[in-house]
Amino acid sequence: MERDATRGRVLLEESRESVVVLDSDDRVIVTSRRARQTIQGLEEGARIPDGLLSGDAGIIPLVVPYDVGGRRERLVYLSRGGDLTAYEELRAGFTAAVSHELRTPLARLLSLLETATLPGEDVFELVERARAEVEQIRELIDEVLFLSELESGTRVVSLGSVAVKPELEAVASELDERASRAGVALAVEGDDAIELAIRPRMLRVVAQNLAENAIRYAGPGATFTLAIERESGSIIVRGTDDGVGVQEAELTRLFERFFRADRARASRGTGLGLAIVKHIVTQAGGTVEARGGLGAGLEIRCVFPGA
């Protein structure tokens, strides 16, 4: 029974919907993280804010009544009127963007294969270049699927706690050879004792994408540092490089899907790495921000609630 209750609470907490459980007096028993992030005034033990159940607050409620242990409770799904339309627009835009991003490496691949049929061409070199195009296509598909799973809630982000610094060190070790080839030095710093309420796999994905972003774009001679620290009651996972940086006007766009700053447009990156970072951090209850400027390096700060 206790196991079922724990399972139910985790499922509710990780729901991608804004969900609230109410008792018979309209007091909040429990809410999903999504509800707490998007709706003001939800507090466990307090009455649900006025207007939420009537629809007067611009939020549409779907109420599912049920009985548990002889008590009457209600499961309430809360959505805004434009949510579905916005979702459909987002989905259509995402599909168009994926199609566009796949078209470029597919066109290069086709050109390479056609060239390989011509007499006198270096077939081995062309096949190796074609292999690289296939790898880029595979990487893009993998990241699109991973991002889709994050958005649908298939991937659970927060479950248990993990010591952060060892995970950051493991990622740095795995990427050390690749970083050396790019002329980028990797470093890890911070308090060994800090733990974070996030699955180890998800923390590694965040760290890996931050590091890979620096390896691709910081430039030869740069140093990239993964750090964990406490600040004003929050826990900060920070990725900082002292490389070429980006225009300040582009900082807020770095987390958009497929966005690449001017200096990165020739890169073979997918343009999804920082979008994935944002989704994971947000689902874990945190926020992300980018700091820096052209010639001033880049800092990505992932701010999580403190323990």
For the stretch 131-189, pLDDT in tens is 888 877 777 777 666 666 665 554 556 656 889 999 999 999 999 999 999 999 999 99
CB 243 within 8 A of CB 264: no
Joined together, the tokens standing for residue 164 give 């952060």
The reported pLDDT for the residue numbered 266 is: 45
pTM over 0.85: no
Amino acid found at 201: R
Residue 55 has pLDDT above 50, yes or no: yes
> Where does the pLDDT of residue 305 fall: very low under 50, low under 70, confident under 90, or very high at 90 and above?
confident
The reported pLDDT for the residue numbered 82 is: 52
d(C-alpha 231, C-alpha 150), whole Å: 27
Bridge partners (DSSP) of residue 79 are 60
What's the chain's average pLDDT?
80
* Domains located in the chain, CATH noted: 2-81 (3.30.450.20), 84-152 (1.10.287.130), 162-305 (3.30.565.10)
| Span 180-232, pLDDT tens digits | 999 999 999 999 999 988 878 888 889 988 999 999 889 999 999 999 999 88
| Span 94-145, pLDDT tens digits | 555 566 567 767 888 888 888 888 888 888 888 888 888 887 777 777 766 6
Joined together, the tokens standing for residue 96 give 């168009």
Cβ-Cβ contacts under 8 Å for 128 (sequence gap 6 or more): none
Nearest to 276 by CA among 256, 253, 298, 299: 256
The reported pLDDT for the residue numbered 197 is: 83
Residue 265 has pLDDT above 50, yes or no: no
